């Protein structure tokens, strides 16, 4: 084998320029593969992190995934029962026995849960009317299940504590209504009840709709406004490990019956988009390596063509067809190994350089670093892909070389 490697190396070194060009192809392929895939993975992780951080990991709501079974269907399980125009009972909506549900949830390790009453209200201020989604929460528990504290630009979350008529609103709403910190405003409930709230904090998440339409207030106050004393219609859950949300939400739903949605389920369309984006990007990046493989194919098939005479000599000396095939395959392997050895560190340097680029996303005031993320898997994929491409590219000319009959070349003279 040493002899075959020696011969392969000599062949490559005899055509330094072409070998170098095809080597550059692999190097660039590997480096760009790493750089782009790290950007892709980084942006994906960044996106998911934002998604995970800014939304509850599990949301339990006062709804059922499937409509309730009608008594007639229960009574005649084997019969064909058709019930139409069923009007649900007029009942006070909300999660029944939520204290017990909360107790069960809180017994699970690594889980934080807090009750919320979400309802609609209309702000009437200076002759304007604006809709708002009120999140009635226990102020001391907001931190457990929400990241709103990170987005406060004026006032603070603490001001809600012990301040029953306090409210946190978004900056867009404040601007629309020319409201400022410590101003008071009136909110009307759908049933016509009116309550006054004092703005104790203004937040800015950067999401326009959220900053215009959401408000956080004391649970008791919202319950009074919406005339639903001691009721909640949602439980927000945060987990230490967000990846467990999907399985856990299914278990919770099975136990308590209420609809329990994980962040993955709520963002299924976004996750699908991410997965499609990944596939497209990996295809594009792989194309770079495929182009590089053509470079290798080109060099090795040229070597095979130019080395017809040498192949004939080696075969006449007593080299087997397998030896000849190996000589050219080794050339592919050598180019692949060298390409990886140079390409991987260059790729790593490119990833580092990309990770140090600061930029200001449009519409944001914060300067952020490019999201870059890498793991050994990317290095393994890049290296394996480059090796496979190199070997495959070398295989065809190698096979052709091995098939060559020495006598055909010798007959042709020099």
Q: Judged by CB under 8 A, does residue 238 bind another protein? A: no
Q: In whole angstroms, how close is the CB of 374 to another protein at the nearest point?
A: 40
Cα 224 from Cα 74, distance rounded (Å) = 38
403 binds another protein (CB under 8 A): no
User: Using an 8 Å Cβ cutoff, are 1 and 319 in contact?
Assistant: no
Element (H, E) at 216: strand 214-218
Region binding another protein by CB under 8 A among candidate stretches 1-9, 61-69, 81-89, 251-259: 1-9
Nearer to another protein by Cβ, of 10 and 279: the residue is 10
Among 83, 194, 268, 405, binds another protein (CB under 8 A): 405
Q: Which stretch binds another protein (CB under 8 A): 56-64, 208-216, 311-319, 345-353?
A: 311-319
Nearest distance from residue 382's CB to another protein, in Å?
Answer: 32
**Of 147-155, 200-208, 268-276, 310-318: span binding another protein (CB under 8 A):** 310-318
305 binds another protein (CB under 8 A): no
By beta-carbon proximity to another protein, the closer residue of 124 and 321 is 321
Work out which of 121, 201, 310, 379 binds another protein, going by CB under 8 A. Answer: 310
**Residue 178 to residue 188: CA distance in whole angstroms:** 19
| Contact between residue 199 and residue 185 where contact means Cβ atoms under 8 Å apart | yes
Question: Please, is 124 exposed, middle or buried when counting C-beta atoms within 10 Å of its C-beta (0-12, 13-18, 19+)?
Answer: middle
407 belongs to the binding site for another protein (CB under 8 A): yes
* CA separation for the pair 139, 327 (Å, rounded): 74
**Could you say which residues in the range 12-51 bind another protein, by CB under 8 A?**
13-14
Binding of another protein at residue 309 (CB under 8 A)?
A: yes
* Token output for 274: 């991410």
Q: Which is nearer to another protein, 177 or 314 (CB)?
A: 314
Does the footprint of another protein cover residue 320 (CB under 8 A)? yes
204 sits near another protein (criterion: CB under 8 A) = no
Give whichever of 63 and 408 is closer to another protein, judged by the CB atom.
408
Sign of CA dihedral 45, 51, 55, 56: negative
* Distance linking the first and last C-alpha atoms of the chain: 29
Are the C-beta atoms of residues 114 and 235 closer than 8 Å to each other? yes
Q: How far apart are CA 2 and CA 361, in angstroms?
A: 55
Out of 231, 315, 325, 326, the residue judged to bind another protein by CB under 8 A: 315
Q: Is 410 a residue that touches another protein (CB under 8 A)?
A: yes
**Closer CB to another protein, 83 or 407, in the complex:** 407
Is the separation of the CB atoms in 214 and 202 below 8 Å?
A: no
Rounded Cα distance, 71 and 79, in Å: 13
How many contiguous H segments (helices) and E segments (strands) does the chain have?
A: 15, 12
Compute φ and ψ for 258, nearest 5 degrees.
-75, 155
Total residues in contact with another protein, by rule CB under 8 A: 27
> Which of 4, 111 has the CB closer to another protein?
4
Taking the C-alpha atoms of residue 304 and residue 343, their distance in angstroms, rounded to an integer, is 26
* Helix, strand, or coil (residue 153): strand
346 contributes a contact to another protein by CB under 8 A: no
Candidate ranges 26-34, 35-43, 112-120, 403-411; the one touching another protein (CB under 8 A) = 403-411
Residues that bind another protein (CB under 8 A): 2-3, 7, 10-11, 13-14, 309-310, 312-321, 323, 405-407, 410-411, 413-414
């Amino acid at each position: 084998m040493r002899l075959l490697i020696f011969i392969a190396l000599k062949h490559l070194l005899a055509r330094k320029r072409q070998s170098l060009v095809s080597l550059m192809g692999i190097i660039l392929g590997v480096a760009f593969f790493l750089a782009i895939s790290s950007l892709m993975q980084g942006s994906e992780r960044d996106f998911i992190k934002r998604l995970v951080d800014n939304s509850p990991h599990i949301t339990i709501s006062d709804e059922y995934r499937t409509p309730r079974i009608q008594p007639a269907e229960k009574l005649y399980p084997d019969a064909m029962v058709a019930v139409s125009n069923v009007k649900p009972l007029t009942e006070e909506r909300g999660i029944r026995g939520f204290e017990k549900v909360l107790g069960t949830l809180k017994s699970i390790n690594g889980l934080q849960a807090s009750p919320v009453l979400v309802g609609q209200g209309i702000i009437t201020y200076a002759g304007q009317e604006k809709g708002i989604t009120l999140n009635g929460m226990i102020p001391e528990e907001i931190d457990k299940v929400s990241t709103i504290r990170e987005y406060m630009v004026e006032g603070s979350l603490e001001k809600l504590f012990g301040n029953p008529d306090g409210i946190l609103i978004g900056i867009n709403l404040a601007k629309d209504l020319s409201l400022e910190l410590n101003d008071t405003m009136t909110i009307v409930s759908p049933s016509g009840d009116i309550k006054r709230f004092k703005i104790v904090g203004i937040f800015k998440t950067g999401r326009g709709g959220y900053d215009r339409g959401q408000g956080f207030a004391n649970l008791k106050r919202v319950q009074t406004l919406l005339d639903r004393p001691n009721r909640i219609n949602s439980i927000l859950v945060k987990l230490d490990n967000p990846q467990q949300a999907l399985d856990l939400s299914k278990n919770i739903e099975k136990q308590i019956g209420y609809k329990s949605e994980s962040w993955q389920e709520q963002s299924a369309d976004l996750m699908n988009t991410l997965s499609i984006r990944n596939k497209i990007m990996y295809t594009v990046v792989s194309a770079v390596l495929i182009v590089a493989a053509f470079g290798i194919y080109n060099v090795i098939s040229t070597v095979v063509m130019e080395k017809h005479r040498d192949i004939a000599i080696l075969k006449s000396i007593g080299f087997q067809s397998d030896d000849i095939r190996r000589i050219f395959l080794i050339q592919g392997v050598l180019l692949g190994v060298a390409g990886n050895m140079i390409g991987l560190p260059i790729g790593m340097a490119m990833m580092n350089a990309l990770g140090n680029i600061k930029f200001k996303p449009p519409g944001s005031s914060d300067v952020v670093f490019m999201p870059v993320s890498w793991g050994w898997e990317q290095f393994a994929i890049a290296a394996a892909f480059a090796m496979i491409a190199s070997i495959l590219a070398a295989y065809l000319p190698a096979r052709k070389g091995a098939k060559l009959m020495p006598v055909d070349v010798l007959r042709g003279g020099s």
